[in-house]
Structure 1
Amino acid sequence: MSRRFPLILLLIALPLWLAASYGARYGFMEDGQWVGICADEANRWECQVRANLGLMIHFKVLGWAALVTSVLAFFVPGRVGWGLAVLGLVFGVPALALYNTTFAVFAVVIAGLRLVRAPHSVGASLLAKNPQR
Protein backbone atom coordinates (compact mmCIF):
# COMPACT_ATOMS: atom_id res chain seq x y z
CA MET A 1 0.00 0.00 0.00
CA SER A 2 1.26 3.45 -0.90
CA ARG A 3 2.28 5.92 1.78
CA ARG A 4 -0.12 8.46 0.28
CA PHE A 5 -3.10 6.11 0.22
CA PRO A 6 -4.68 7.47 3.45
CA LEU A 7 -4.43 11.02 2.11
CA ILE A 8 -5.97 10.03 -1.22
CA LEU A 9 -8.76 8.20 0.59
CA LEU A 10 -9.34 11.28 2.73
CA LEU A 11 -9.52 13.51 -0.35
CA ILE A 12 -12.20 11.23 -1.77
CA ALA A 13 -14.17 10.90 1.48
CA LEU A 14 -14.27 14.61 2.39
CA PRO A 15 -16.32 15.78 -0.63
CA LEU A 16 -18.75 12.91 -0.02
CA TRP A 17 -19.02 13.92 3.65
CA LEU A 18 -19.61 17.54 2.57
CA ALA A 19 -22.36 16.45 0.16
CA ALA A 20 -24.02 14.40 2.91
CA SER A 21 -23.84 17.41 5.24
CA TYR A 22 -25.50 19.68 2.71
CA GLY A 23 -28.07 16.96 2.07
CA ALA A 24 -28.90 16.95 5.78
CA ARG A 25 -29.12 20.73 5.77
CA TYR A 26 -31.35 21.21 2.73
CA GLY A 27 -33.20 17.90 2.74
CA PHE A 28 -33.86 17.59 6.45
CA MET A 29 -33.39 20.86 8.31
CA GLU A 30 -34.72 23.40 5.80
CA ASP A 31 -37.29 21.33 3.94
CA GLY A 32 -40.78 22.68 4.45
CA GLN A 33 -42.22 19.17 4.48
CA TRP A 34 -40.35 18.34 7.70
CA VAL A 35 -41.39 21.61 9.30
CA GLY A 36 -45.04 20.72 8.77
CA ILE A 37 -44.65 17.10 9.87
CA CYS A 38 -42.73 18.02 13.02
CA ALA A 39 -45.23 20.75 13.91
CA ASP A 40 -48.03 18.17 13.87
CA GLU A 41 -46.22 15.06 15.17
CA ALA A 42 -43.30 16.15 17.34
CA ASN A 43 -42.90 12.66 18.86
CA ARG A 44 -41.69 11.03 15.64
CA TRP A 45 -38.09 9.87 15.83
CA GLU A 46 -37.21 11.93 12.76
CA CYS A 47 -38.49 15.04 14.48
CA GLN A 48 -36.50 14.22 17.61
CA VAL A 49 -33.33 13.85 15.51
CA ARG A 50 -34.13 17.14 13.78
CA ALA A 51 -34.69 18.90 17.10
CA ASN A 52 -31.44 17.56 18.57
CA LEU A 53 -29.54 18.58 15.45
CA GLY A 54 -31.06 22.02 15.81
CA LEU A 55 -29.81 22.22 19.39
CA MET A 56 -26.35 21.12 18.26
CA ILE A 57 -26.40 23.90 15.68
CA HIS A 58 -27.62 26.47 18.21
CA PHE A 59 -24.94 25.62 20.77
CA LYS A 60 -22.25 25.26 18.07
CA VAL A 61 -21.29 21.77 19.23
CA LEU A 62 -19.81 20.70 15.91
CA GLY A 63 -17.82 23.92 15.54
CA TRP A 64 -16.35 23.66 19.03
CA ALA A 65 -15.54 19.96 18.62
CA ALA A 66 -13.81 20.68 15.32
CA LEU A 67 -11.81 23.56 16.74
CA VAL A 68 -10.69 21.67 19.86
CA THR A 69 -9.63 18.55 17.95
CA SER A 70 -7.86 20.58 15.27
CA VAL A 71 -5.87 22.64 17.77
CA LEU A 72 -4.94 19.49 19.68
CA ALA A 73 -3.91 17.85 16.41
CA PHE A 74 -1.62 20.73 15.60
CA PHE A 75 0.43 20.14 18.73
CA VAL A 76 0.29 16.33 19.00
CA PRO A 77 3.03 14.63 16.97
CA GLY A 78 2.87 11.52 14.82
CA ARG A 79 -0.09 9.43 13.79
CA VAL A 80 -2.18 10.50 16.76
CA GLY A 81 -1.95 14.12 15.65
CA TRP A 82 -2.79 13.11 12.09
CA GLY A 83 -5.81 11.18 13.34
CA LEU A 84 -6.96 14.13 15.44
CA ALA A 85 -6.67 16.36 12.37
CA VAL A 86 -8.87 13.96 10.41
CA LEU A 87 -11.35 13.98 13.30
CA GLY A 88 -11.26 17.78 13.23
CA LEU A 89 -12.19 17.65 9.55
CA VAL A 90 -14.94 15.12 10.27
CA PHE A 91 -16.47 17.60 12.73
CA GLY A 92 -15.52 20.71 10.75
CA VAL A 93 -17.01 19.88 7.37
CA PRO A 94 -20.58 19.39 8.65
CA ALA A 95 -20.13 22.43 10.88
CA LEU A 96 -19.42 24.47 7.75
CA ALA A 97 -22.60 23.20 6.14
CA LEU A 98 -24.71 23.49 9.29
CA TYR A 99 -24.28 27.17 10.20
CA ASN A 100 -21.23 26.89 12.52
CA THR A 101 -18.87 28.60 10.14
CA THR A 102 -17.28 30.90 12.74
CA PHE A 103 -15.34 28.10 14.43
CA ALA A 104 -15.35 25.61 11.60
CA VAL A 105 -13.39 27.80 9.20
CA PHE A 106 -10.48 28.04 11.60
CA ALA A 107 -10.76 24.36 12.53
CA VAL A 108 -10.66 23.18 8.92
CA VAL A 109 -7.67 25.39 8.12
CA ILE A 110 -5.75 24.25 11.21
CA ALA A 111 -6.56 20.59 10.53
CA GLY A 112 -5.56 20.96 6.88
CA LEU A 113 -2.25 22.54 7.86
CA ARG A 114 -1.61 19.68 10.26
CA LEU A 115 -2.36 17.10 7.58
CA VAL A 116 0.09 18.55 5.07
CA ARG A 117 2.86 19.32 7.58
CA ALA A 118 6.09 17.43 7.05
CA PRO A 119 6.77 14.70 9.62
CA HIS A 120 9.97 16.42 10.78
CA SER A 121 10.14 20.15 10.26
CA VAL A 122 13.40 21.61 8.99
CA GLY A 123 13.51 24.29 11.66
CA ALA A 124 13.28 21.78 14.50
CA SER A 125 16.08 19.65 13.07
CA LEU A 126 18.32 22.72 12.63
CA LEU A 127 17.61 23.81 16.16
CA ALA A 128 18.44 20.36 17.49
CA LYS A 129 21.82 20.37 15.67
CA ASN A 130 22.70 23.91 16.74
CA PRO A 131 21.25 24.60 20.23
CA GLN A 132 22.99 28.00 20.58
CA ARG A 133 20.38 29.71 18.36
Structure 2
Amino acid sequence: MPPFLPPSGLPTLSAAVPTRLIKLCRTAEVPHGRPITVIHAGLPRIVVFRVDEKFFAAVDRCSHGNARLSDGAQSQGLIYCPLHGGAFDIATGRAVAPPCRTPIKTLPVVVQAECIYVETVATSPGSII
Protein backbone atom coordinates (compact mmCIF):
# COMPACT_ATOMS: atom_id res chain seq x y z
CA MET A 1 0.00 0.00 0.00
CA PRO A 2 1.46 3.44 -0.89
CA PRO A 3 2.13 5.88 1.97
CA PHE A 4 -0.52 8.45 2.86
CA LEU A 5 0.22 11.88 1.43
CA PRO A 6 -1.53 14.94 2.85
CA PRO A 7 -3.22 17.39 0.46
CA SER A 8 0.04 19.29 -0.05
CA GLY A 9 1.66 16.15 -1.43
CA LEU A 10 4.32 16.10 1.29
CA PRO A 11 4.95 12.91 3.25
CA THR A 12 3.84 12.91 6.87
CA LEU A 13 5.98 11.92 9.82
CA SER A 14 5.85 8.53 11.37
CA ALA A 15 2.88 7.94 13.65
CA ALA A 16 5.42 7.65 16.48
CA VAL A 17 6.11 11.40 16.31
CA PRO A 18 3.14 13.44 17.57
CA THR A 19 2.47 16.52 15.44
CA ARG A 20 0.08 19.45 15.44
CA LEU A 21 -1.05 21.94 12.83
CA ILE A 22 -0.51 25.68 13.28
CA LYS A 23 -2.59 28.02 11.16
CA LEU A 24 -0.48 30.39 9.08
CA CYS A 25 -3.06 32.26 7.00
CA ARG A 26 -6.05 31.94 4.70
CA THR A 27 -5.48 30.88 1.09
CA ALA A 28 -7.04 34.15 -0.13
CA GLU A 29 -4.26 36.10 1.63
CA VAL A 30 -1.55 34.62 -0.62
CA PRO A 31 -1.60 36.30 -4.04
CA HIS A 32 -0.45 34.52 -7.18
CA GLY A 33 3.27 35.08 -7.75
CA ARG A 34 3.91 37.14 -4.62
CA PRO A 35 5.16 35.52 -1.41
CA ILE A 36 3.92 36.67 1.97
CA THR A 37 5.56 36.66 5.39
CA VAL A 38 3.86 35.02 8.35
CA ILE A 39 4.98 35.72 11.89
CA HIS A 40 3.73 33.32 14.52
CA ALA A 41 4.88 33.39 18.15
CA GLY A 42 7.41 30.67 18.84
CA LEU A 43 8.20 29.95 15.20
CA PRO A 44 10.82 31.41 12.88
CA ARG A 45 9.61 33.90 10.26
CA ILE A 46 7.85 31.89 7.53
CA VAL A 47 7.32 32.70 3.86
CA VAL A 48 4.22 31.30 2.12
CA PHE A 49 4.01 30.86 -1.65
CA ARG A 50 1.24 30.18 -4.13
CA VAL A 51 2.26 28.40 -7.31
CA ASP A 52 -0.79 27.93 -9.51
CA GLU A 53 -3.28 26.64 -6.93
CA LYS A 54 -0.74 24.90 -4.69
CA PHE A 55 0.69 26.39 -1.50
CA PHE A 56 4.17 26.00 -0.07
CA ALA A 57 6.02 27.32 2.97
CA ALA A 58 9.63 27.75 3.99
CA VAL A 59 11.70 29.45 6.63
CA ASP A 60 11.97 33.05 5.38
CA ARG A 61 15.76 33.11 5.13
CA CYS A 62 18.12 32.58 2.21
CA SER A 63 20.59 29.76 2.86
CA HIS A 64 23.39 31.81 1.25
CA GLY A 65 23.01 35.21 2.87
CA ASN A 66 21.12 37.07 5.55
CA ALA A 67 18.13 37.97 3.36
CA ARG A 68 14.38 37.41 3.57
CA LEU A 69 13.07 35.38 0.67
CA SER A 70 9.73 37.14 1.08
CA ASP A 71 11.50 40.27 -0.23
CA GLY A 72 12.60 38.39 -3.36
CA ALA A 73 10.93 37.99 -6.73
CA GLN A 74 8.81 34.91 -7.41
CA SER A 75 8.65 33.58 -10.95
CA GLN A 76 6.57 30.48 -11.52
CA GLY A 77 8.00 27.85 -9.16
CA LEU A 78 11.17 29.76 -8.25
CA ILE A 79 12.00 32.35 -5.61
CA TYR A 80 14.96 34.68 -6.16
CA CYS A 81 17.00 35.93 -3.24
CA PRO A 82 16.95 39.75 -3.11
CA LEU A 83 20.56 39.88 -1.88
CA HIS A 84 22.57 38.05 -4.56
CA GLY A 85 19.92 36.84 -7.04
CA GLY A 86 20.33 33.13 -6.37
CA ALA A 87 17.22 31.03 -6.86
CA PHE A 88 15.44 28.18 -5.14
CA ASP A 89 12.76 25.73 -6.22
CA ILE A 90 9.75 26.66 -4.08
CA ALA A 91 8.36 23.12 -3.88
CA THR A 92 11.59 21.34 -2.92
CA GLY A 93 13.81 24.10 -1.51
CA ARG A 94 16.61 23.03 -3.86
CA ALA A 95 19.11 25.74 -4.85
CA VAL A 96 18.90 26.13 -8.63
CA ALA A 97 20.99 29.24 -9.39
CA PRO A 98 24.30 30.51 -8.01
CA PRO A 99 25.58 31.70 -5.74
CA CYS A 100 23.15 29.59 -3.69
CA ARG A 101 24.13 25.95 -3.19
CA THR A 102 22.44 24.90 0.04
CA PRO A 103 18.69 24.24 -0.06
CA ILE A 104 16.28 26.33 1.97
CA LYS A 105 14.23 24.76 4.76
CA THR A 106 10.80 23.92 3.35
CA LEU A 107 7.91 23.11 5.66
CA PRO A 108 5.11 20.56 5.44
CA VAL A 109 1.89 22.38 4.57
CA VAL A 110 -1.69 21.23 4.89
CA VAL A 111 -4.58 23.15 3.33
CA GLN A 112 -7.98 22.66 4.95
CA ALA A 113 -11.14 24.74 4.67
CA GLU A 114 -9.33 27.55 2.78
CA CYS A 115 -6.66 27.84 5.51
CA ILE A 116 -2.96 27.05 5.29
CA TYR A 117 -1.35 25.18 8.19
CA VAL A 118 2.23 24.15 8.92
CA GLU A 119 2.91 20.85 10.67
CA THR A 120 5.00 21.06 13.85
CA VAL A 121 6.26 18.63 16.45
CA ALA A 122 3.58 18.64 19.14
CA THR A 123 5.94 18.02 22.04
CA SER A 124 8.37 20.82 21.14
CA PRO A 125 6.75 24.25 20.82
CA GLY A 126 8.37 26.18 18.01
CA SER A 127 9.91 23.09 16.42
CA ILE A 128 9.13 22.92 12.75
CA ILE A 129 9.36 19.58 11.06
TM-score when normalising by structure 2: 0.26
Q: Which is greater in Rg?
A: 1
Q: Comparing both structures, which one devotes a greater share of its residues to strand?
A: 2
